[in-house]
Structure 1
Amino acid sequence: PIFCFLMTEGFVHTKSRIRYARNLLFFALLSEIPFSIMMNDLGNFQKQNTLFTLLLGFLALWALERFAANVWLQILCVVSSMWAAYFFHTDYDWRGVLLILIFYLFRYYRNSQVILAGLSLYWEWKACFAMIPIRMYNGQRGFLKGKAGKYFFYFFYPLHLIFLIILRYLLYS
């Protein structure tokens, strides 16, 4: 949920939608092998990592913005993004795209945002605890600034998976 929230904030504040989408795709591809190893599924690729969910959510938000004058086209694009997340078995699947949409559509109503986001996580109730720091967010950029701060979060995902794989190997092999 925190990645979904941060991606939504990034979408609102980015200067280049194309670069943002490109970075999400690049790091989704980079993270796929560590994710598959973590899921004990190397070479099978039956389930895709969270960054693919973020990319599909990003594309849904972009479609909402791009096709603001045509609600049917917006609905078609959003449903297509959710269907793609379901079909490709992305982590959090269609529900991750829905969570991103909630964060975006209710961004000016923080209480409603965290309540609806928490309710949308009914199937993974522990993730609701992420609503605490999200609710406390004050709209200000944090202590990580510039390109180093931006890319820290991109690299965090594959690196934390590699760390967990090594830890699992050391503890259980």
Structure 2
Amino acid sequence: IPFDLAFSGKILEFGYQNVFFTLLIGLLTIMLFDAVVKKQEWHPVLRSALLVIITFGGMGAAYLLHTDYDAKGVLAILVFYMTRQMRGLQIVAGCLAFCWELPAIVAFIPIAFYNGKRGWNIKYLFYAFYPVHLLVLYLICVGMRTAQIAVV
């Protein structure tokens, strides 16, 4: 709801979905991906074909549902997942996956320096930040429109 308010001014807008839908589709794609990878008794060509179908299926679902980052977001999630054990490759592949959004590449600097240890336990702050900041931006827009109407 905060995303829809901030971007469309409506409580529910089904024409464009927030990044959590992209993350959900990415998670489901990873789950299917893993299920196929674990089927060692299947022929390698069949498994490879299914992995390609699953990848494009997840990307297609995100595109058709108009999610934030659409197919590119699901592809980036898969790239991060497949390279999770190789940090150097993950950084290079991640930069390539985000080459369409150059400022995002800067995010790989802290990833490169991550030491593998958990930081401060402030996850609830981050859980709250996304919807709260969108609501604040929406309220600022409403306030600006109200002030503009009052001036006219």
Q: Residue deviations 1:26-65, cap 9 Å, x none?
A: xxxxxxx211222135254211000000011111111111
Counterpart of 1:124 in structure 2 is: 101
Counterpart of 2:72 in structure 1 is: 95
Change (3 A) 1:41 1:166: closer
Counterpart of 2:150 in structure 1 is: none
Change (3 A) 1:132 1:73: same
Q: Residue deviations 1:91-112, cap 9 Å, x none?
A: 0001001111111111122122
Counterpart of 1:67 in structure 2 is: 36
Equivalent residue in structure 1 for 2:18, among 46, 49, 56? 49
Report the TM-score, using the length of structure 1 for normalisation.
0.69
- Please state how far the C-alpha of 1:143 moved relative to its aligned partner: 1.3
Counterpart of 1:157 in structure 2 is: 130
Counterpart of 1:4 in structure 2 is: none
| Structure 1 gap segments, 5+ residues each | 1-32
Identity %: 40
Say if 2:48 is the partner of 1:80.
no
Aligned AA for 1:77? I
Structure-1 separation of matches of 2:135 and 2:56: 33
- Please state how far the C-alpha of 1:84 moved relative to its aligned partner: 0.4
Bigger CA radius of gyration: 2
Report the TM-score, using the length of structure 2 for normalisation.
0.78
Whether the 8 Å CA contact 2:26–2:74 is kept in 1: the answer is yes
Structure-1 separation of matches of 2:136 and 2:103: 22
Counterpart of 2:2 in structure 1 is: 34
SS at 1:123's partner residue?
coil
Aligned AA for 1:162? L
Aligned AA for 1:91? D
Whether the 8 Å CA contact 1:63–1:78 is kept in 2: the answer is no
Structure-2 separation of matches of 1:140 and 1:62: 25
| Structure 2 gap segments, 5+ residues each | 40-46, 148-152
- Please state how far the C-alpha of 1:155 moved relative to its aligned partner: 3.2
CA RMSD of aligned residues (A): 2.0
Greater mean alpha carbon deviation, residues 78-87 or residues 130-139: 130-139
How many corresponding residue pairs?
A: 137
- Please state how far the C-alpha of 1:152 moved relative to its aligned partner: 4.2
